[in-house]
Amino acid sequence: MTPAEAVVLTVLGAVNLDLTARVTALPAAGETVGGGSLSREPGGKGANQAVAAARLGARVRLVGAVGADGEGASMVSNLDAAGVDTSALQRVDEPTGTALIVVDDEGENSIVVCPGANGRIDPRRLQEERPDALLAQLEVDLRLVADLAQRTSGLVALNLSPVMPLDDGLRQRVDLFIVNEGEYAKVPYLATAPLVAVTLGGDGALLRRDGVVIARARADASTVVNTVGAGDAFAAALTVAMLRGIDDAAALQLACNVGAAAVADERSQPLLQPLEAYLGI
């Protein structure tokens, strides 16, 4: 297995302030739910995945943007503390991205994202980026994802969330797609993609190569506190495991183990242990 310090991963994605209201039950349309508790936490799919990968032991560089405001400074400080290289994180004249999240007693959630600075990443400042490996999502401009993917020399992993059409160039450059079962159902070409990881919630996950299931992993029982960061932790863990040379089946099970640890943590950026702690569980 490749040593952790040898894995160098660039993450491209959103950095948000998560404003989370915890309530007994999610409100229906037009309904007001009282008795909630409010928290302010670091989030955003890019930041969540970068922090998870760093805590799992990889060397991580985050590409994205925050506002030149107090929230942006706080997000950068949190990323630095987690061991993420923030030197490619742009400060722009736009409020730091914000996610409005409601979480119920079962850990289920509803989210509204206000992208703010995430929509103002300057592509001219990314021309020198030449990643060894890339993990991206689609909460930032799709053109940035496509451009950086083409300049990546090694593995390109794409968490296809939120689902949107991809051009042929980006679709063909992605080595690993990561989706949940709902996203998988919405994207027909994933049925024949070279490698696709599909999360199945409490039923674990599966890995498809050219449409054929090559690995399945269980999801161990876990106390569900918050599902917001679980998919991001899974994506980071699977990407890091594959970069470290762990075989497909073991990498998929490890990612499920990390996801189970994530849902038991109330944070969107759970306090994960190094990768080895989740092997063979």
pLDDT digits (tens, 9 = 90+) for 143-152: 999 999 999 9
- Taking 90 as the threshold, does the pLDDT of residue 104 lie above it? no
Q: What is the dihedral of CA 255, 261, 266, 272, to 10 degrees?
A: -80
- Tell me what pLDDT residue 224 has: 75
Of 128-142, 183-197, 206-220, 258-272, the one with minimum mean pLDDT is 258-272
- Tell me what pLDDT residue 267 has: 83
Q: Which of 18, 175, 232, 265 is catalytic?
A: 232
- Tell me what pLDDT residue 246 has: 96
CB count within 10 Å of CB 273 equals: 12
Phi-psi group of 236: left, alpha or beta (phi > 0 → left; psi -120 to 50 → alpha; rest → beta): alpha
- Tell me what pLDDT residue 115 has: 95
How far is it, in rounded angstroms, from Cα 230 to Cα 255? Answer: 10
How far is it, in rounded angstroms, from Cα 12 to Cα 10? Answer: 7
Of 101-105, 220-224, 242-246, 260-264, the one with minimum mean pLDDT is 220-224
- Tell me what pLDDT residue 225 has: 73
Cis, bond preceding 162 (omega within 30 deg of 0): yes
The CA-atom distances, in angstroms, between 125 and each of 18, 26, 60, 118, 153 are 26, 41, 18, 14, 19
The residue-averaged pLDDT of 212-225 equals 85
Asked whether the beta carbons of 118 and 137 are under 8 A apart, the reply is no
- Tell me what pLDDT residue 121 has: 97
The residues with which 97 forms a beta bridge, in sequence order, are 16
The residue-averaged pLDDT of 150-175 equals 96
The residue-averaged pLDDT of 158-171 equals 96
How far is it, in rounded angstroms, from Cα 193 to Cα 177? Answer: 8
Confidence class for position 281, pLDDT limits 50, 70, 90: low
Is 232 noted as a catalytic residue in this protein?
Answer: yes
The residue-averaged pLDDT of 21-38 equals 91
Phi-psi group of 62: left, alpha or beta (phi > 0 → left; psi -120 to 50 → alpha; rest → beta): beta
- Tell me what pLDDT residue 108 has: 81
What pTM was computed for the model?
0.93
The residue-averaged pLDDT of 60-84 equals 97
- Tell me what pLDDT residue 178 has: 98
Scanning the chain, the segments in alpha helix (DSSP H) are 45-55, 70-81, 142-150, 168-173, 181-186, 230-243, 248-263
Mean pLDDT of the chain: 93
The residue-averaged pLDDT of 22-51 equals 92
How far is it, in rounded angstroms, from Cα 104 to Cα 128? Answer: 43
DSSP code of 85?
B
Tokens of 53: 């990968």
How far is it, in rounded angstroms, from Cα 274 to Cα 12? Answer: 22
- Tell me what pLDDT residue 56 has: 97
- Tell me what pLDDT residue 149 has: 98
Counted residue by residue, the chain has a size of: 281
- Taking 80 as the threshold, does the pLDDT of residue 227 lie above it? no
**What percent of the chain has a predicted confidence (pLDDT) above 90?**
81
